[in-house]
Amino acid sequence: MRWRTAMSLCCSETKQQSDRGVSHSTRFPISIGCGPSSYQSSLTFFPEGPLLMKRGVGWGELMSQHIPKRIFSWIDSNILGLGREMRLSYLPPLMVYLAAGVSGLIGIVGMFFVKDYLGLSAAFLAGLSFWAGIPWALKMPLGHLVDLFWRWKSVLVFLGAGFITVSLLIITGLLAYPETLRRIWPAEIWYILSVLLAPIGYVIQDVVADAMTVEAVPQVDKEGRPIGPSERRLMHTTMQTLGRVAIIGGGALVAVVNILMFQGVESMPEAVKVSNYLRIYLMALCIPIISVAGVGLAMVLKVRDSRRLKRRGFGSDEIRTMLNPHIERPKPNWWILGGSLVFVLFTVVMGLGHLPYNQEIIFAGSMAIVIFLIVRLTRSLETDARKVLVGTSIMIFVYRALPGPGAGSSWWMIDVLGFDQEFMSVLSLIGSSLTLAGMFIFRRFMAEKSMAYIIGFLTIAGALLTLPNIGLYYGLSKWTAAHTGGVVDARFIALVDTALESPLGQIAMIPMLAWIANSAPRELKATFFAVMASFTNLALSLGQLGTKYLNEIFTVTRQVRDTAGTVVVPADYSELGRLLITVLVIGVLLPFAVIILVKLTPLQGVGDANGT
């Protein structure tokens, strides 16, 4: 149903974005991200509390005077309200998520680099995406280790930054010193190594960021008084929503950078294009710096809060209890640690063994291990809470496991429709900007509707928005251009479709994340985040397997030339139309099948218990 491209291989979207709910597959090959929105002259910042509207003439009063009351009420509740709920303590994890969004900076460059310089097939790239997604299953042991060694969790962010830096430097080396690196290994091997190192770094940082979101929500106010359960529940929802906003905003920021870097790309000499690619990868080295800075800020804020409470007469033990969500260190869960060790050994042995169907065997084994760990972990929950979590997870799993058309769709748009780097960057900016808007527009929708309703809505909307893309393949843009004087051409349809679809992929994960942050056992929140994320991220691996199968059935190839300029593989997009239709049918049938299944069982999704 959605366009899955080689871009995701070059950025954290293979998961870190996937894990936080960022759409891993967008109908057009865009990379999305975000940063916290800013309120300027109309806002006052209070270090100990939220961002509040000035009592004078600010946006709130001006808007209330000039906008109908019902519209203003909606804007105030869904958009301005989120700004008022922002706290300085939320900023450290948001910086880590922002780094994940900024990783989209290399997405477009990566897609064109693979297409123009590497002879990798669409099926191989889908298989590589499977392997790149495997590290996200390691969130299980990492999440539990964060719970066990809570005080030292920041060290892991530095470790993850190291993996990300090495991954970026590899591609930088291929662009700056290609012949030197090729004397050691082929360029394809270097690229594969870079693709596999990046998600390891992002998953390590994402585990810590999840834990930091729990720590960012205060247990006491600035006077040391406990904050009530209902207020803290709202804070958790706000924190998870802002996490998505940070990822998406980072992508919007880098989309602007890509547009500026690729202006006039159609007339650029090849050497200038490569030079721009290199500059973008060098700029991407800011990604690990941003995440590390977030950890540093968290340390500074904790020291500040400790001193403030001490001035109010609280003792050291009281302060430690107020500021630390982990009152007591949990006992090691040897089922999780042991099961994760079995998973790692199983994956490595199968991956290096070159056995037939090793990817399928790894997926089946991984699913068995993760489901076993979920069963063990959820025994600590009450029956109703367990039903909510399991029902929600199953629906999200199937929705995220839907296969896509693969990299061949983006190759076709580049070769046949003439979409260049600059236009891809424009699509990315539109997608990111409107996804940010969608986060606010659908905020109430996510909070009030059941997961079954949300998944059903996303499925229907996604199917309708797939039809124009299928129409593009069968010549819709030629007909519309002929009847509109050339206005509604392929690029116009791509822009409109991206604008309509962008907000949809961000909705499904937020209710589950907010539920875990608020309702999971206090001393095991990082573990719950990690185990459930491993489960839903395995869905992406299943989706990549499905994408690989579809690309083996419907073969799509781009033109590949050797170093002498001889065509080795001719371009062939004749089967892409049937591939797109098959993806659409699967994308409609599977989600509704699982919704019906969950409704026929005692399971529930988030919101179901409220009758929505």
Predicted pLDDT of residue 54: 42
Q: 559 with 503, same domain? A: yes
Is position 26 within any domain? yes
pLDDT band at residue 17 using 50, 70 and 90 as cut-offs: very low
Is position 44 within any domain? no
Distances (CA, A) of 49 to 52, 90, 261, 409, 600: 9, 11, 39, 48, 45
- The CATH number that applies at residue 198 is 1.20.1250.20
Q: Report yes or no: 388 and 608 within 8 Å, Cβ to Cβ.
A: yes
Of the listed ranges 93-102, 194-203, 499-508, the least confidently predicted one is 499-508
Only one residue has tokens 């260049």, namely 420
Residue 290: is its pLDDT beyond 90?
A: yes
Query: DSSP string covering 194-254, please?
Result: HHHHHHHHHHHHHHHHHHHHHHHS-SB-TTSPBPPHHHHHHHHHHHHHHHHHHHHHHHHHH
Q: Report yes or no: 535 and 396 within 8 Å, Cβ to Cβ.
A: no
Rounded CA Rg of the chain: 24
Is position 313 within any domain? no
Q: Report yes or no: 508 and 454 within 8 Å, Cβ to Cβ.
A: yes
Is position 363 within any domain? yes
Of all residues in the chain, the percent with pLDDT exceeding 90 is 25
pLDDT band at residue 340 using 50, 70 and 90 as cut-offs: confident
Q: 391 with 372, same domain? A: yes
Is position 245 within any domain? yes
Interatomic CA distance for residues 105 and 24, integer angstroms:
15
Of the listed ranges 191-195, 497-501, 503-507, 549-553, the least confidently predicted one is 503-507
Residue 50: what are its φ and ψ, rounded to 5°?
-80, 175
- Domain extent, residue 77, equals 51-84
Q: 69 with 190, same domain? A: no
Among 464, 442, 454, 405, smallest CA distance to 588 is for 464
pLDDT band at residue 55 using 50, 70 and 90 as cut-offs: very low
Section 427-451 average pLDDT? 75
Residue 57: is its pLDDT beyond 60?
A: no
Among 106, 129, 135, smallest CA distance to 31 is for 106
Q: 371 with 416, same domain? A: yes
Q: 71 with 180, same domain? A: no
Of the listed ranges 145-149, 300-304, 484-488, 563-567, the least confidently predicted one is 563-567
Interatomic CA distance for residues 331 and 337, integer angstroms:
12
Q: 497 with 414, same domain? A: yes
pTM: 0.71
Q: 95 with 80, same domain? A: no
440-477: buried (b, 16+ CB within 10 Å) or exposed (e) per residue? Answer: bebbeebbebbbbbbbbbbbeebeebbebbbbbbeebb
Q: 76 with 189, same domain? A: no
Section 267-283 average pLDDT? 91
The mean of the pLDDT values for the chain is: 79
Residue 124: is its pLDDT beyond 50?
A: yes
Q: Report yes or no: 600 and 476 within 8 Å, Cβ to Cβ.
A: no
pLDDT band at residue 327 using 50, 70 and 90 as cut-offs: low
Of 565 and 58, the structure prediction assigns the larger pLDDT to: 565
Q: 562 with 583, same domain? A: yes
Interatomic CA distance for residues 595 and 528, integer angstroms:
23
Is position 256 within any domain? yes
Is position 322 within any domain? no
Residue 177: what are its φ and ψ, rounded to 5°?
-135, 60
Classified as helix, coil or strand, 573 is coil
Question: How many domains does the chain fold into?
Answer: 2
Predicted pLDDT of residue 64: 53
Q: What is the pLDDT of residues 583-601, one digit of tens each?
A: 999 999 999 999 998 888 8
Is position 320 within any domain? no
Q: Report yes or no: 570 and 415 within 8 Å, Cβ to Cβ.
A: no
Predicted pLDDT of residue 60: 52
Of 438 and 558, the structure prediction assigns the larger pLDDT to: 558
Q: 264 with 179, same domain? A: yes
Q: What is the pLDDT of residues 376-410, one digit of tens each?
A: 888 878 888 888 888 888 888 998 899 999 888 98
Predicted pLDDT of residue 442: 73
Q: 57 with 98, same domain? A: no
Q: 30 with 58, same domain? A: no
Of all residues in the chain, the percent with pLDDT exceeding 70 is 81
CB contact set of 376 (below 8 Å; sequence gap of 6+): 333, 335, 336
Chain length of the chain: 612
Interatomic CA distance for residues 540 and 508, integer angstroms:
14
Only one residue has tokens 């209902």, namely 230
Interatomic CA distance for residues 542 and 400, integer angstroms:
9
Query: DSSP string covering 513-530, please?
Result: HHHHHHHS-GGGHHHHHH
Residue 30: is its pLDDT beyond 50?
A: no
Classified as helix, coil or strand, 70 is helix
